[in-house]
Amino acid sequence: KVLILDFGSQYTQLIARRIRELNVYSEIVPFNKVPELDDTIKAVILSGSPFSVREERALHPNLEPLIGKRPVLGICYGAQYVAQHFGGRVERSETREYGKANLATIHKPEGLMTGIEAGSQVWMSHGDTIKEIPEQFELLASTADVEVAAYGSKPGAFSEPVFCIQFHPEVYHSLDGKALLKNFVIDVAGCTGNWTPAHFIDDTVAALQAKIGDDRVLLGLSGGVDSSVAAMLLHRAIGDRLFCFFIDNGLLRKDEFEQVLKSYDGMGLNVKGIDAKQEFYDALAEISDPELKRKAIGKTFIDVFDREAKKLTNIKYLAQGTIYPDVIESVSVHGPSVTIKSHHNVGGLPAKMGLKIVEPLRFLFKDEVRRVGTELGMADHLIKRHPFPGPGLAIRILGDITPEKVDLLQKADAIYINKLREYGLYDQVWQAGTILLPVQSVGVMGDERTYEQAVALRAVNSTDGMTAEWSHLPYDFLAAVSSSIINNVKGINRVVYDISTKPPATIEWE
């Protein structure tokens, strides 16, 4: 595998993903928590950083255990740090070194630069620049403005080569970025591209069998991709010793409980559907505050889950569909972050139940989870499902929750989602949903005045939900949805479309 030392760059996760797209496993660690190099670690990458190497608070990795031991690639800050460390000179840049640039000259078209031609477009994003490279190094490539775009150790200077680049190969705008990373990871470091879904499944199933032995495992299914894929993997490993719950909290989409249960049944999973609608509605009665709603739902979920679990005997493990972005310990520039919304729906569960945790997807990015799902034979409609929040429709009904409001929203939402599918737009948006607004407005239907509720439609494009743009859905589509909702859902006489980006808005309204 390839070890990536994180210095807090916004692109660190992208580096890991690009390497994995080469079918090579990569792992991110904070720059100051580098594990002992063992045989599995074939190469090391130093990420970029929002800091400057010239600042007092700059991050100082210990390079001694790495340089000469494994091939090293420094990117941006990583490259500048290496330059400074070995006696080169790094200064604040005078010319613009942000955005697209072209490699004007390739000084050494081999090793890291094999197959990369002059003119190749790269993405620059740095405030410092390397003025002089240390004497053990030689220049590899330059742009018109940046002489030291890429440099590397002279042959024989160290037992293993060190390469440094000031541009960002992990960003799509660096058109040969992937080729360059491939040169480093496969050709220089000798990694084999065997990180494939099939390989992952074999390894994980074997590891799960070794870990779990003859014990029994419990898993809460949510209907989403992550928990479903986790369940399939465990099922393959331990068969019917996996017990799954799927709880109807009364806040799912229309008919979702039945449909999802049916598809789990088709996959051969041992699933118990639990109708706890009333219990959730009772817990939510008269609560309007978004965070209090989340807390009430989280607590009720734990109560229901715990009660049902007690009916089973000899359960030793609780399985969760946690994925890699949730476990990466990022180097934060801003210190501990503020809670905007508490997403940890069931955080307290394992401790309360006294169970050990098993997380088969802990090291996968979302797109990898999907590929593993496909390899396991999961139906496309399950794999391509939009994300759906744990608290469900409760955070899409502004104000307090009643079963009547849930019913109203379910009907409007079903029309919206079905139309997205009908128009072939479902797979083009990252997430879509309908929000029931706590306002009434005047309308006219036939000869009659109406005074009914309004819904907002939301659709966003995003890669990870951290930032999002509103989707530019066609007007004729929006018109069709609007008239279908207003004509068919009694109680709604107005439909609006949410055109806010995140930030400053969020995807959900609560």
168 catalytic, yes or no? yes
428 or 506: CB nearest ligand XMP: 506
Interface residue with ligand XMP, options 378, 382, 389, 437 (CB under 6 A): 389
| Minimum separation from the CB atom of position 369 to ligand XMP (A) | 15
316 sits near ligand XMP (criterion: CB under 6 A): no
Contact map string, positions 278 to 297, toward ligand XMP, x by CB under 6 A: ----------------x---
294 or 405: CB nearest ligand XMP: 294
Count of residues binding ligand XMP (CB under 6 A)? 14
184 or 257: CB nearest ligand XMP: 257
160 catalytic, yes or no? no
507 sits near ligand XMP (criterion: CB under 6 A): yes
Interface residue with ligand XMP, options 68, 109, 111, 387 (CB under 6 A): 387
Q: Using an 8 Å Cβ cutoff, are 221 and 318 in contact? A: no
502 sits near ligand XMP (criterion: CB under 6 A): yes
Q: Which of 168, 278, 231 is nearest to 373 (CA)?
A: 231
Q: Which of 316, 179, 157, 226 is nearest to 165 (CA)?
A: 179
Catalytic annotation, pick one of 76, 164, 191, 244: 76
As annotated, the binding site includes 222-228
SS3 state at 131: strand
Catalytic annotation, pick one of 97, 147, 164, 168: 168
Helix and strand counts by DSSP (H, E) for the chain: 14, 20
| Minimum separation from the CB atom of position 389 to ligand XMP (A) | 3
C-alpha Rg value of the chain to the nearest Å: 26
User: For 470, phi and psi rounded to 5 degrees?
Assistant: -70, 145
Interface stretch with ligand XMP, choices 119-127, 234-242, 369-377, 501-509 (CB under 6 A): 501-509
Interface stretch with ligand XMP, choices 11-19, 26-34, 138-146, 387-395 (CB under 6 A): 387-395
18 or 294: CB nearest ligand XMP: 294
131 or 343: CB nearest ligand XMP: 343
Q: What is the 3-state secondary structure (H, E, C) of 236-295?
A: HHHHHHEEEEEEECCCCCCCHHHHHHHHHHHCCCCEEEEECHHHHHHHHCCCCCHHHHHH
Interface residue with ligand XMP, options 254, 465, 489, 495 (CB under 6 A): 465
CA angle (264, 283, 494) in 5-degree steps = 80
Q: How many residues does the chain have?
A: 510
Interface residue with ligand XMP, options 60, 310, 343, 352 (CB under 6 A): 343
Return the C-alpha torsion angle 12, 17, 18, 20, nearest 10: 130
As annotated, the binding site for ATP includes 222-228
Interface stretch with ligand XMP, choices 124-132, 201-209, 341-349, 492-500 (CB under 6 A): 341-349
| Minimum separation from the CB atom of position 345 to ligand XMP (A) | 5
126 or 370: CB nearest ligand XMP: 370
In angstroms, rounded to a whole number, what is the distance separating the alpha carbons of residues 297 and 291? 10
List C-alpha distances in Å: 341 to 40, 268, 286: 38, 35, 20
| Minimum separation from the CB atom of position 249 to ligand XMP (A) | 12
Interface residue with ligand XMP, options 74, 220, 373, 391 (CB under 6 A): 391
SS3 content of the chain, % helix, strand, coil (to 5): 35, 25, 40
Catalytic annotation, pick one of 97, 126, 164, 170: 170
Which amino acid is it at 151? Y
155 or 336: CB nearest ligand XMP: 336
Q: Which of 117, 114, 116, 107 is nearest to 137 (CA)?
A: 107
Helix or strand (DSSP H, E) at 356:
strand 356-358
170 catalytic, yes or no? yes
Q: Using an 8 Å Cβ cutoff, are 335 and 8 in contact? A: no
Q: Which of 346, 334, 345 is nearest to 389 (CA)?
A: 345
In angstroms, rounded to a whole number, what is the distance separating the alpha carbons of residues 259 and 273? 11
Q: Which of 510, 494, 410, 417 is nearest to 456 (CA)?
A: 494
Interface stretch with ligand XMP, choices 184-192, 322-330, 405-413, 499-507 (CB under 6 A): 499-507
In angstroms, rounded to a whole number, what is the distance separating the alpha carbons of residues 146 and 58? 23
**Helical ranges in 129-213 per DSSP H:** 177-182, 197-212
Structure tokens given for 265? 């049944």
Which amino acid is it at 429? V
| Minimum separation from the CB atom of position 123 to ligand XMP (A) | 26
341 or 362: CB nearest ligand XMP: 341
In angstroms, rounded to a whole number, what is the distance separating the alpha carbons of residues 267 and 227? 13
SS3 state at 207: helix
345 sits near ligand XMP (criterion: CB under 6 A): yes
Considering only residues 121 to 180 of the shown chain, the ones binding ligand XMP according to CB under 6 A are none
443 sits near ligand XMP (criterion: CB under 6 A): no
In angstroms, rounded to a whole number, what is the distance separating the alpha carbons of residues 152 and 461? 39
61 or 465: CB nearest ligand XMP: 465
Interface stretch with ligand XMP, choices 102-110, 389-397, 420-428, 482-490 (CB under 6 A): 389-397
| Minimum separation from the CB atom of position 36 to ligand XMP (A) | 36
Residues assigned a catalytic role: 76, 168, 170
**Residue ranges that bind ligand XMP, judged by CB under 6 A:** 294, 341, 343, 345, 387, 389-391, 431, 465, 502, 506-508
